[in-house]
Amino acid sequence: MNAHYRNILIASDGSPEAQRAFTEAVDLAKLMDAKLYITHVLEHRNYDGSLEPSYYSDASDSATLVQAGVRKLLTKMKATAEAQGLTDVSILQPEGNAKEIIANELPIELDIDLIIIGATGRSRTERLLLGSVSDYIIRKANTQVLVVRDKAYQ
């Protein structure tokens, strides 16, 4: 395969797995001279796994704190990428269903040709109740997906 990626999307949930994926994304974006999009999708789920759309539209203190924390994480990741020589880096903080947004909506909207994700960022219980975002993206994405695993898996 002789791939040249122009638009790379790294999806982060702040987990150690996502951090390893971010490092890989920065290295690959530098190698390919690609634009790097860094995203974290803001979503809130009920115990039954359904989205609760009113959560982030509510101006509650907790929602504001979550949004600010995510913004801080994304801003720090962008600064790290730029410090390593990337010049075309954007951060995205959409709200909604992370699986759909990462696998389908952003790739179409931004002409993404590679999505980079960590193997998993959720606990075993969360994966059982809600399903793995990574698993969904691997199965449903309309573009190439690179999954970065913990070294323990290698």
In a domain, 32, yes or no: yes
Q: What is the value of pTM for the model shown? A: 0.82
Residue 8 pLDDT exceeds 70: yes
Domain assignment present for residue 2? The answer is no
Q: What is the C-alpha separation between 36 and 44, in angstroms, rounded?
A: 26
Number of domains the chain contains: 1
**Mean pLDDT confidence for 47-76:** 67
In the predicted structure, residue 128 carries a pLDDT above the cut 60: no
Report how far residue 37's alpha carbon sits from residue 20's, in angstroms, rounded to the nearest whole number.
Answer: 16
In a domain, 28, yes or no: yes
Residue 105 domain-assigned (yes or no):
yes
Q: Which residue has the tokens 């909506």?
A: 105
Q: Is residue 20 part of a domain?
A: yes
Q: What pLDDT is recorded for position 152? A: 57
143 secondary structure, DSSP code: S
Mean pLDDT of the chain: 83
Give me the pLDDT at residue 2, please: 55
- Region 94-112: mean pLDDT is 95
Whole-number Å distance between alpha carbons of 82 and 77: 9
In a domain, 37, yes or no: yes
- In which domain, by residue range, is 109 found? 7-153
Q: What is the CATH number of the domain that holds 113?
A: 3.40.50.620
Q: Which is more confident, 136 or 1?
A: 136
In a domain, 1, yes or no: no
Please indicate, yes or no, if residue 137 is contained in any of the structural domains.
Answer: yes
Per-residue confidence band for 5, with pLDDT thresholds at 50, 70 and 90:
very high
